[in-house]
Chains A and B, each alone.
Chain A
Amino acid sequence: MKVSDLSHEARIVASSMLDAAAEALNPTVRLGVTGLSRAGKTVFITALVHALTNGARMPLFRAYADGRLIGARLSPQPDDSVPRFDIETHLKALLEDRKWPQSTRRISELRLIVDFGSETFLGRRRGTSHLTLDIVDYPGEWLLDLGLMGKTYSQWSAETVAMSRRGARQEFARDWHKHLKTLDAAAPESEAEARASADLFTAYLRSSREARHALSALPPGRFLMPGDLEGSPMLTFAPLDVAADAEPKPGTLHAMMARRYDAYVDGVVRPFFRDHFARLDRQIVLVDVLAALDAGPDAVSDLETALVDVLAAFRHGRNSWLTALFRPRVDKILFAATKADHLHHTSHDRLEAILGRLVQRARETAQFGGAEVDVLAISAVRATREATAKRGKQELPVIAGTPEPGERSGDKTFTGEEEIGVFPGDLPADPNVALAPGGYRGRAETGEGDVGIIRFRPPKLEGPWGKTRLPHIRMDRVLQFLLGDKLA
């Protein structure tokens, strides 16, 4: 363990103890909405806040169904140096323009105070109880960095290079590979080489992320979404072709890259983790399984790699008073496959099974630690309706909605105006098939596949948007699982 690791831990402990003191007066839940880019974090947070403040159809969210939930109001965010989550703009885009929010470019915070009537012995005597809910929104790309915290530069280099030589990635990494061959790790350090390599590496990461291939395991995240680090020297490093246990010699290119990598991990990744993830009480892991399924088995297994790396950074398990004071653990974690409205509900079981397989390891670790774990297929804002249709002798379960402009199915391209019915194909019944190379045909290669997920625009809702209730799938289960006991 390095000194930086120790000070990292010590700072987390110090802030945990401060929190514990504040918690005694004012019950707070720090909800960790974790998800890679395009998993639907912003929509989820918007829908969650909207449901708590404006209400929704939520028969399974007990506090709400029993009529004990009085309401929720926004409150100034705890950290003045971080902007507030811009819920008004997101809602307006969703309901008036019928557009999903833009991808998040920087971090934002939201504090929500929930007023409710408690049913506990003490709560009944207190009258109205309050629960403070802290939520953070951030670019999903940055989450990928959490996996870097446990790795040295050489380990990361070896892994990244090995991965870039597999499957579809080879294509994207060609230019970078060419340049990589010219580099010698033992050569003297050179700023020009480092910069050229970093640029090519970034280009490789960006093209791997392109929509059809939907690859996910692409750290470091700031290369894809630099935020306020645009052009910073911290981002001028790239992997070298070195062995995982290689020790850099002073003065070499290898040493310079390793130094910058360490600076990146210590100066960017660790503070990000410490400020926003180290002290979570509840966690929801949003995963866009459908986009990966649409692309094919390569994308699905890539998604698994990314999730395993990210989730290893968290501590899950039941809290004792000691851990609660020094280093609280996430005691409830929900894995949610988002955008479940893009499938008919009869396919949700298979979707949940595939997600369960993807996060299997994290799930088992969390359960072993005593944390409560659940896997759900959800949709924060439901964009489709369900129907059935006959095609030949088969009766197909169909969803109907308005596809986003430019979405394609077969040789048809949609304008974003007409409403259509879609049967997205049967998901693999065995989750392992979804991961196995060649297990089924995705749309990444030819545009035709066994599964075709078409992205839909947000639903057309009537009434003044300030008062509309958002349709959803299983958001009440989500709220009950994450907050139910805190609102008892």
Chain B
Amino acid sequence: MSQKPRRPETFTLDDPELVFAEQQPDVIDLMAEPPQNGEIAEVSAVATATTPRRSRLGAVLWTALGGLVSLAFGLGVTNLIEDLFARAPWLGWVGVYFTVLLVIALVLILGREALALRRLAKIDDLRARAETAIRTDDRTMALGVVSSLEGVYSSHARTARGRASLAREKTEIIDGADLVRLAERELMTGLDAEARYLVAGAAKRVSVITAVAPRAVIDIAVVGFTAVSLIRRIADVYGGRPGTLGFLRLLRQVLTHLAVTGGMAAGEGFLDQIVGHGLAAKLSARLGEGVINGILTARIGLAAIAVCRPLPFAARSAPTLREVAGGLFDKSPT
């Protein structure tokens, strides 16, 4: 510390320089925007800097390709409209009208996607910051995390009570790591239960349908469709609300997560499930297939939870395969 130690001082209460810490609000502003101060921005910059950068060559390739495709598209449209004008002027105007409509719609969609992407990035950033705050027990950073969380969930009615009690605790003396854990318990408890319920339901549905479906193609279609809707709904639960582009990014993250954790998961829980509850599989290969598809869905769901949740699992335990896929064995049609 380069700062010189400050000497003791006393103040009378009517000293105009004495300002009391803000009183805890009884009613909180649910729509309040999170404060953006310099420290938080700096931290997030660090967090993004550590994420692996994509190859620069790839960027050149995609830029070039994108440019060519857009040029081709633009040329095609221009040619089309010119042709239309050549045939009959009113036809040309209709063409122009549609083009304008197309451009406006495109801009709106792109805007929405960009917003959704930002939201996702914000959640990633939030998780990284929460992890740092827990590790370093930094109160300022934890307060930033809580403010951002309040921003993410400001329009989420079911977290209203959790947000209210968090707003109260923010003004109390509470350490950084504790504050983040408290936020996790207050805000995530309900959402976690909801997400678990979604995953368990999806896993069960997939296992039943694929067990009775007559063709493998249908199996694949059902698993694929359920997985896609599951990921979307989990993101929705945790406040990610991904657009199409965001969804693709999310899907990539989920798949990466699956690939990374897959080996470990197979080692500890997966085999156990198969061997322990293997009776169904032994009885019928078909049923076994259903169970495996169900487990696959459950694992996709767990990966989606890990990717979409804005806080790390610190105060609450992460859901396990046994919890969400356990239902497959309890009441599966045997």
Contacts and interface: CB of A to CB of B under 8 A. Distances in A.
Interface stretch (A281-289, A308-316, A391-399): A391-399
B6 A396 contact: yes
Contact of B13 (A421, A423, A425): A421
B21 A388 contact: yes
Interface centre among A388, A421, A423, A450, by most chain B C-beta atoms within 10 angstroms, is A421
Interface residues on A, range: 35 or more
- What's the dominant secondary structure at chain A's contact region? mixed
A467 interface: no
Nearest to A386: B21
B216 interface: no
Contacts of A348: 173
A419 B18 contact: no
A425 B18 contact: no
Nearest to A346: B139
Given A387-B19, A400-B18, A421-B15, A451 B185 contact: no
Contact of B10 (A345, A390, A422): A422
A420 B182 CA distance: 33
Nearest to B173: A345
B169 interface: yes
Contacts of A409: 8, 10
A459 to B, nearest CB: 14
Contacts, number: 93
Contacts of B169: 59
Interface in B18-51: 18-21
B13 A424 contact: no
Nearest to B13: A419
A429 B12 contact: no
Contacts of A419: 13
A420 B11 contact: yes
A385 interface: yes
Nearest to A449: B8
Contacts of A388: 18-19, 21
B183 to A, nearest CB: 10
Given A59-B182, A387-B18, A389-B19, A422 B8 contact: yes
Contact of B178 (A429, A449, A454, A477): A477
B1 interface: yes
A426 interface: yes
Contacts of B268: none
A469 to B, nearest CB: 13
B17 A391 contact: yes
A60 interface: yes
Nearest to A66: B185
Given A60-B174, A60-B182, A400-B20, A426 B13 contact: no
Contacts of B17: 389-391
Nearest to B171: A386
Given A387-B19, A389-B19, A420-B11, A450 B174 contact: no
B330 interface: no
Given A60-B178, A421-B12, A473-B173, A387 B6 contact: no
Interface string A345-362: 100100000000000000
B20 A426 contact: no
A317 interface: no
A464 interface: no
B333 interface: no
Interface string A434-463: 000000100000000111101000000000
A423 B9 contact: yes
A428 interface: yes
Interface of A: 57, 59-60, 65, 345, 348, 385-391, 394, 396, 398, 400, 409-410, 412, 418-426, 428-429, 440, 449-452, 454, 473-474, 477
Closest A-B pairs by Cβ, 9 of them? A452-B8, A421-B11, A425-B8, A426-B5, A390-B17, A387-B20, A423-B9, A345-B173, A389-B18
Given A426-B5, A450-B7, A452-B8, 4 more contacts: A394-B6, A419-B13, A420-B11, A422-B8
